[in-house]
Amino acid sequence: MGQTPGGFPRKVRQRILRGEKPLRRRPGASLPPADFEQTAATISPLLDHEPSRREVVSHLLYEEVFVDFTRHQQQFADTSILPTPAFFYGLEAGEEIAVDIEVGKTLIIRYLTVGEPHADGRRTVFFELNGQPREVAVTDRALEPEVPRRPKADSNNSTHVAASMPGMVVSVTVQPGDPVAKGQKLLMLEAMKMQTTITAEQEGKINEVHVESGTQVETGDLLMVMEP
């Protein structure tokens, strides 16, 4: 952390080091050289952009913390814009907060209530966004789901095929082991009388199929795994 003016008192130094020789040079000089280019290549898959110098240095100094922080931002976006008490403790019923999401754009969020547990361990949260009623289903970690939770697709894994919207699987047109061409139909989802076709974004082979006709899915659920 540095040196005190004039150095540490001799008796304090002896008490702490207990016979070890004091370091006479800059502590960082004993560390292996940092490879900035290699570090940038390592963390690039974790990010949605080319790593900045600051991100590279952050990873070099705090590797595990940086990875956890990046994954948190990918899942929840930039939560630093939330008021600290709201982030750590949530809101009370009827409580209202203002969140600046960009310069000149503020969201007024008013928490209303939370619904009864769903079979999958989630609850519906009711709130107002700029005065308009809204609701969203969130996982209640204090609950044990009555039905297994579906795995989520990894947005950074190009072999994962994810549900683009919540709904029901109407049909599945491929099976494990089937070769597929780019743009080929894989399955069809239906919600509110509207159907959406999920197609292959690349050429490859189907390794895993996690759904079948009649399966209810949510946005981001893992539907299939492909091998490029």
Higher-confidence residue of 216 and 148: namely: 216
Determine the average pLDDT of the residues in 57-86: 92
Q: How far apart are CA 114 and CA 147, in angstroms?
A: 20
CATH of the domain at 131: 3.10.600.10
Do both 117 and 66 map to the same domain?
no
Residue 10 lies in a domain: no
Whether 109 and 129 have beta carbons less than 8 Å apart is answered as yes
Domain count, the chain: 3
Residue 13 lies in a domain: no
Instruction: Output the average pLDDT for the chain.
Output: 90
Give this prediction's pTM. 0.58
pLDDT value at 41 more than 80: yes
Strand ranges, E, within the chain:
96-102, 105-114, 122-129, 132-139, 160-162, 167-172, 179-180, 185-191, 194-199, 204-209, 216-217, 222-227
Hunting for tokens 């361990």 — which residue is that?
A: 121
Q: How far apart are CA 119 and CA 174, in angstroms?
A: 29
Determine the average pLDDT of the residues in 190-194: 82
CATH of the domain at 189: 2.40.50.100
Residue 24 lies in a domain: no
Do both 169 and 196 map to the same domain?
yes
Which range, of 7-21, 118-132, 146-160, averages the lowest pLDDT?
146-160
Do both 164 and 221 map to the same domain?
yes
pLDDT at 121: 84
Do both 67 and 97 map to the same domain?
no
Hunting for tokens 């969140």 — which residue is that?
A: 99
Residue 16 lies in a domain: no
pLDDT at 191: 84
Do both 164 and 223 map to the same domain?
yes
* pLDDT, tens digit, 9 for 90 and up, residues 87-123: 999 999 999 999 998 889 999 999 999 999 887 788 8
- Show Cβ contacts of residue 46 under 8 Å, excluding neighbours closer than 6 positions: 67, 70, 71, 156
pLDDT value at 64 more than 90: yes
pLDDT at 1: 57
* pLDDT, tens digit, 9 for 90 and up, residues 140-179: 888 887 767 788 898 888 899 999 888 889 999 999 999 9
Residue 70 belongs to domain spanning: 35-75
Whether 178 and 205 have beta carbons less than 8 Å apart is answered as yes
List the structure tokens of 158: 């190009």
How much of the chain exceeds pLDDT 70, in percent?
99
Do both 206 and 172 map to the same domain?
yes
Residue 187 lies in a domain: yes
Determine the average pLDDT of the residues in 131-144: 88
pLDDT at 149: 73
